[in-house]
Amino acid sequence: MTKALILMAKGVEEMEAVICADVLRRASVDTLLLGLEGEASVEGSRGIILGVDQAFRGDETADLVVLPGGGEGAKHLAEDERVLSLLRRFEQEGAWIAAICAAPIALVAAGVGKGKSMTSHPSVRETVESFAGNYVEEAVAIDDHLVTGRGPGAAFDFALDLVGLCVGPQKAGEVRAPMMFG
């Protein structure tokens, strides 16, 4: 079974965290929401309190790590050495790494994905563009085992792409159909 980790810090963009967790779990991906601060919940960027499954340690293993954005949340991710170390390890192991909205700044801080195609929220474009090999203004950018997304409006496409990459396009279609996209 495929395993995914979603790292959550204070200021996380709620939609991105919840949509990714929901879509991955609909695809039967073993998905854990991990809180950076060790608390039972994390306050999101809009003041919504989100529960976490367990505290993030930094030594976890999985097939996929997802970094939701939110300006403050992304800053916390980019400043946490445990996160940066995990990202470097995942890149070396060839595991999937995904970051959406402002969270690609954590990839830059870790030195992960240098020279690859990336996208991000416009608020962090300069930082990401100077690091990426090819900055694209698309909802989702996929380059090798790196997936980046623009922001909350791209969260469903981002999450469904993760399902397609990790579990297969047929499963992504099965998950997408009952969600009734136009």
76 flagged as catalytic: no
Residue 131 has pLDDT above 90, yes or no: yes
Residue 182 has pLDDT above 80, yes or no: no
Q: Please enumerate in sequence order all residues whose Cβ is within 8 A of that of 86, keeping only pairs 6 or more positions apart, or say none.
A: 58, 60, 65
Task: State the catalytic residue, choosing from 16, 20, 43, 91.
Answer: 16
Q: For residue 1, name the pLDDT band (cuts at 50, 70, 90).
A: confident
Task: State the catalytic residue, choosing from 20, 101, 145, 166.
Answer: 101
Cβ contact 76:105 at 8 Å = no
121 flagged as catalytic: yes
Domains of the chain and any CATH numbers: 3-172 (3.40.50.880)
Q: For residue 157, name the pLDDT band (cuts at 50, 70, 90).
A: very high
Beta strands in 11-133 (DSSP E): 30-35, 41-43, 49-51, 54-55, 64-67, 96-100, 117-118
Residue 46 has pLDDT above 80, yes or no: yes
Q: For residue 181, name the pLDDT band (cuts at 50, 70, 90).
A: confident
Per-residue pLDDT of 91-110, as tens digits, reads 999 999 999 999 999 999 99
pLDDT given for residue 9 in this prediction:
98
- pTM over 0.85, yes/no: yes
126 flagged as catalytic: no
Q: What is the distance between the alpha carbons of residues 27 and 176, in angstroms, rounded to a whole number?
A: 10
Task: State the catalytic residue, choosing from 20, 76, 121, 166.
Answer: 121
